[in-house]
Amino acid sequence: MERHIQQFVDYDMVNRIVNGFETFPQKVLGPHQVDGGYVITAYHPSACGMTIRLEGETSDREMECIHDKGVYSIFLPGKKYKKYRITKYFQDGNHVTGEDPYSFSSFITEADCYLFGNGIHYQIYEKLGAHPMELDGVYGTYFAVWAPHAKRVSLVGDMNMWDGRVYPMRRREDMGIFELFIPHIGPGEIYKYEILTQKSDLILKSDPFGNEFQMRPENASVVTDLKGFDWQDGGWMRKRNASDTYKLPMNIYEVHIGSWKRAGEKQDTFMNYREIAHDLAEYCEYMGYTHVELMGISEHPFDGSWGYQVTGYFAPTSRFGNPKDFMYFVDYMHQHGISVILDWVPAHFPKDGFALGRFDGEPVYEHPDSRLGEHPDWGTYIFNYGKKEVSNFLIGSALFWLEKFHVDGLRTDAVASMLYLDYGKQDGQWVANKYGGKENLEAVEFLKHLNSIVERRQPGAMVIAEESTAWPNVTKRPEDDGLGFTYKWNMGWMNDFLEYVSKDPLFRKGVHNKLTFAMAYHHSEKYVLVLSHDEVVHGKCSMINKQPGEMYEKFQGLRTAYGFMFGHPGKKLLFMGQDFAQLREWSEERSLDWYLLDDPMHRKMHNWVRALLHLEKDYKALYETDYTDGFEWMNCDDNEKSIVTFVRKSPNGKNSLLFVCNFTPVVWDKGYRVGVPNAGKYKEILNSDSEEFGGSGEYMNGDVRATKQEWDGKDYSIPVIVPPMSCVIFEYTHKIEEAQEKSQTQTKKKTTKKKSSTTKKTTTATAKKRTTRKTTAKK
């Protein structure tokens, strides 16, 4: 054996490589400088011979076999290193020529390791995962995975017949990151990681940072190239980054792409992202939706999870196409003025053996203590938020969708389960924090970190919390001791509202506060009012069937309910199918019942919701002042009649709106008197009893002039014809100056009274003093 080879090669390490137990194969494989030249060692378990050709040479040099299981080596004298190609020969007469994977420089830098280890590598998705690229002048794919407890990680796939001995990956000594560049493979290549655990078990895992996966039930990762998409939404993105979301209309259409519409004669085939984009954008524009919120876009194995048990945090599901198809979807929506929000799930992840759970045989992404790392009710793992690399993984995922796919916002699922250590657990199933409390302090810090970084890097993007408890300051900034979310779903309003509208009208007066209570805490957070998918599944009934009574009464009730909802402050979300009163509960297994639009009652309900959506878009009173002083009750106390009246005021007073909502089947055709803010004309612009919306058309108002007749504590009032079970909306001009003058006058009166009272007190006190002096003098 050549002397330099004999001196350099560690034969114990060679044996471990051959037997699949070596953690640092790069210490033997690839080129290594030695005294007088270089030793190059290569390995393939099935090779019966190898030759090498240096760059610039025309002939091959034979490599020396140093282990009969396919390890070959050669010494090349000289100080100058030259690129080379190796030819591997096999017993069946075939041979393969290519660059040596172990000859390429590392793509992971010390800075990358430092940032990742400290949880602040905000573009970690550019380094970990599979990335087609040119490295050292050669095209191929670079692979990197974090597996800190692994003895060995190998890349396996069709490129090496799924043989884990062929491509053992190089481990960086300063981090548990394994990496390898494989020349001449690119998009479409299927792969996994074969991991040798500390217990010497072999497991196969998909790529946690993978950007594409096989169509379920298969679950291997797929190499894809995210570069090169021709985005057309530059203007949209610039405008987004400069906009104030709180002062813009937000009509969110919650959509499950797999069941919104389906293709094929039997409607049993998924549509592609590109097809869906065209149909969905057209529908949203027609209806007046400004945003779509997509359920279940991150890759997931089980359709019945609706996408909330994620296995691919950096990949759009392949059910509807490839990543560039999804880019097209977002780009097309933006070109048609529609924002895109994704449901994002950092609260938990499934235990599927091919995915994140026990990734390298040990807890990596989950907490090692099951009391902190598992949801017993859900059968899922909980992320270890205090682990910097895990926090970085999740923040990287959030930024990935916002930056790589131009998504406009993330709706963070199940935030309450993150905030409370005892969420869904019995005594003995959870551990208190260091102060003895049930708050998950590490999750709190993670959420603050997440939201502050999103705001800094993507200032126009939204992060919305699905948070169902009374946790304070969810939408306040982290520096003000808040969690930093842009919005919070108002689950309290939703529960109260649905309880109210589900009651028989006869009994609604007994729960009248369920309709009005939300305004008592409205200004504590930036709320979104939601009627989501969760409310129309698992025996809860569709929205139309939550309403009591005969079918025509159900339609009356639902029109009224929607009218009240769209008048109430807060941004709005409505789940698909509920805008045309789908009768059946939603199921992910079938398309919506679009045929119902052929029925006049459903079509007219559709018209009503469309009218409300466009009203929400067109009137600043309904969106610019959602979180200021743009709302005022006229009367919220008429529980006997179950009628509420309120106004929504625009910033300049013009095009303000008065809402009159009647939640009983009683008609007030002689005129129900309503207190109003000021004199002027009140023009009826929408009436749910109109024929075009499915009503009788008998109880319309037209224009009504306010008279100076005190009512509901207001100086002015109007008589309104109130149809049974209805919502009537009037447009008027809110006289801001008059209101201010009235307010100032009231303030002056109070001040005058206060001064008068003070004067009286002073006079009385002075008189008493004088009396006392006189009495003293007499004594």
The span from the first CA to the last CA of the chain, in angstroms, equals 131
CB atoms within 10 A of CB 514: 18
Q: Is the pLDDT of residue 544 over 50?
A: yes
pLDDT in tens, 116-169: 999 999 999 999 999 999 998 999 999 999 999 999 999 999 999 999 999 999
How far is 212 from 516, CA to CA, in rounded Å?
A: 47
Give the residue numbers marked as catalytic.
413, 466
Residue 778 banded pLDDT, cuts 50, 70, 90: very low
> CA-to-CA distance for 323 and 212, rounded, in angstroms?
7
Q: Using the structure block, give the residue that is written with the tokens 């005022």.
A: 632
Q: What is the pLDDT of residues 156-177, one digit of tens each?
A: 999 999 999 999 999 998 789 9
What is the secondary structure of 491-539 as a DSSP string?
HHHHHHHHHHHHS-GGGGGGGTHHHHGGGGTGGGS-EEEEE-GGGGSTT
- Residue 715 pLDDT greater than 90, yes or no: yes
Under the banding of pLDDT at 50, 70 and 90, the label for residue 1 is low
Cβ atoms of 253 and 580 closer than 8 Å = no
How many degrees, rounded to 5, is the angle at CA 246 between CA 244 and CA 247?
75
Contact partners, residue 24, CB within 8 Å, separation at least 6: 13, 170, 171, 173
DSSP string computed for 84-141: EEEEEEETTS-EEEE--GGGSPPSS-HHHHHHHHTT--TTGGGTSEEEEEEETTEEEE
3-state class of 489 per DSSP?
Answer: strand
Q: Do residues 142 and 127 lie in contact, with contact meaning Cβ atoms separated by under 8 Å?
A: no
What is the number of residues in the chain?
Answer: 779
* Cβ neighbours, 10 Å, residue 739: 15
pLDDT of residue 740: 53
Q: What percent of the chain has pLDDT over 70?
A: 94
Do residues 421 and 439 lie in contact, with contact meaning Cβ atoms separated by under 8 Å?
A: yes
In angstroms, rounded to a whole number, what is the distance separating the alpha carbons of residues 495 and 513?
12
HSE of 750 in the Cβ direction (CA atoms, 13 Å)? 6
Whether residue 368 contacts residue 97, with contact meaning beta carbons closer than 8 Å, is answered with no
The alpha helices in 21-84, defined as continuous H runs, are none
Task: Give 299's contacts (C-beta < 8 A, 6+ positions apart).
Answer: 213, 310, 311, 312, 315, 316, 317, 318
pLDDT at residue 96, rounded to an integer:
94
Handedness of CA 739, 744, 748, 751 (dihedral sign): positive
Q: Is residue 317 within 8 Å of residue 219, measured between CB atoms?
A: no
Q: Is 651 exposed, middle or buried (0-12, 13-18, 19+ CB in 10 A)?
A: middle
Nearest residue to 356 via CA among 414, 410, 397: 397
pTM, entire model: 0.91
pLDDT, one tens digit per residue, over 631-682 is 999 999 999 999 999 999 999 999 999 999 999 999 998 889 999 999 999 9
Is 480 in contact with 473 (CB distance < 8 Å)? Answer: yes
Q: Is the pLDDT of residue 527 over 60?
A: yes
